[in-house]
Amino acid sequence: MKTSKMLRITTITMLMLLFVAAGSVFAQQKQPGGWKANMPAKYKTMKGKGDVAAGKELYIKHCKSCHGPKGLGDGPKAASMKTFPGDFSGSKFQSYSDGELYYITVIGYEEMPAYEKKVTDDEDRWALVAYMRSLKK
């Protein structure tokens, strides 16, 4: 009798621990749907001024390794990514708003790293956006 009660308590405790562990795993996962589903509405219409030449220098330093010299997604690191980094010259990419490009660059999503801590100056962030715009075909 005593052992079966012990067994029951142990089983219940184990199950509870399992639920807690499973819960924390799910909580760490980003919401599905990529950046669009996670982006706060305020970014969509955000605008800023950025210098294309300054953006180019920042791009070469931080982005070229994956996105390639012309933003075609053909940088040397792109091959080791699960996802294609995108074609910055294409019409789908260029249809994103400035604020959306800013959001992706600063906050990141999935395999796209966040640059919030590496590019801290707001003018530099907008310079990157301006440079990505200049890559249009």
Binding site for ligand HEC (CB under 6 A): 62-63, 65-67, 77, 81, 83, 85-86, 93, 101, 104-105, 110-113, 115, 128
Integer angstrom CA distances of residue 68 from 16, 56, 63, 65, 76:
48, 12, 8, 6, 7
Q: Measured at CB, which residue is nearest to ligand HEC?
A: 86
The least distance separating ligand HEC from the CB of residue 110, rounded to whole angstroms, comes to: 4
The least distance separating ligand HEC from the CB of residue 21, rounded to whole angstroms, comes to: 27
Q: In this complex, which beta carbon is closest to ligand HEC, that of residue 23 or of residue 113?
A: 113
Pairwise CA distance, residues 65 & 18, whole Å: 41
The least distance separating ligand HEC from the CB of residue 69, rounded to whole angstroms, comes to: 13
The least distance separating ligand HEC from the CB of residue 136, rounded to whole angstroms, comes to: 13
